[in-house]
Amino acid sequence: MKFSLSSNVKLCEAYEAYFNLPIRSQDKIWAPKFSCSYCKNTLEAWYRGEKKSMKFAVPRIWREPTNHISDCYFCLVNPRKRRAGKNAKKIQYPELPSTTAPVPHSEHFPVPSRSNLKEELPLSQDCSSSEGSEFLIKSVSVEPHLINSEEFNDLVRDLNLPKIKAEILASRLKQWNLLKQDVNISDQRKRHEIFSGFFTKKDGLCYCNDVKGLFDAIGIPCVSSEWRLFIDSSTKSLKAVLLHNGNKFPSLPLAHSAMLKENYESVKMVLQTLKYEEYAWPVIGDFKMVGFLVGMQGGYTKY
């Protein structure tokens, strides 16, 4: 069973008292947001004055990973893997820049005494800054946070809001004085214009007419060898998407059609409009798509 840190105030207080570290960066997607039942019960029991203690004096410290190949703890380690018995082989955990291993209790790091702690303070009075990339959980603040333009755009993207609803949200937040002056409500009406010039609609196919220009506009280096072209088709649509080999960058949709049929000619049209010969990305897809690419005959062969 796991327990949310955001809803367990007593657990956060016990964590801060035991390790003398505040909990921060809970608004970051890379920061752990749950505690197991053992840690929760042990910390809260120690906080009540019982003779219980954690196995380590310094907890694991988290930082924002730079990639998912060599610097992501949860991509390299199975969190559910554990030792099954005293004679089981020890699990070797990697040393990564994005995390620091916990330090066990010792002569130099004794178990803290509950009686020597400072008087208990409400979390709202013991706020700590969340600056920096380390995982130090942020205490609750009672002061409102004014949303700037970048944060508002992130919020709209996370909520997957269309233009009309995004404009309504901006209007309401502006009405309640929760937006900074740099947020313009009408910007949502023209948010598509930044990238719409890179796409053309012709013969039932919407495709990217300038792949390199699209990369430059987004701010991503256009290196063909680092991307692969995923083509997928069904009875209702045909689409082509660029996927980054290391997942460091988001996927980029390049072509889509709800009118083209699922056949060799349609796939050929997509590759030609995207100027595939110029970029020569590795192509991936299902077996049917592989059949189209290698020119295999569809249907049943009559002998």
- For residues 25 and 100, membership in a common domain is answered with yes
Tokens for 256, please give them.
Answer: 């889509």
| CA-closest candidate to residue 242, choices 217, 194, 207, 268 | 207
Distance, CA of 20 to chain centre:
29
CB atoms within 10 A of CB 229: 22
pLDDT of residue 76: 83
In a domain, 107, yes or no: yes
Mean pLDDT on 158-171: 89
231 falls in which pLDDT band (50, 70, 90)? very high
Domain hosting residue 101, numbered range: 2-125
- Say how far apart CA 15 and CA 148 lie, in whole Å: 32
In a domain, 300, yes or no: no
Mean pLDDT on 251-280: 90
Mean pLDDT on 191-213: 90
Mean pLDDT on 4-23: 86
- For residues 112 and 172, membership in a common domain is answered with no
- For residues 198 and 259, membership in a common domain is answered with yes
| CA-closest candidate to residue 26, choices 169, 177, 130 | 130
| CA-closest candidate to residue 16, choices 62, 56, 50, 59 | 59
Q: Does 177 have pLDDT greater than 60?
A: yes
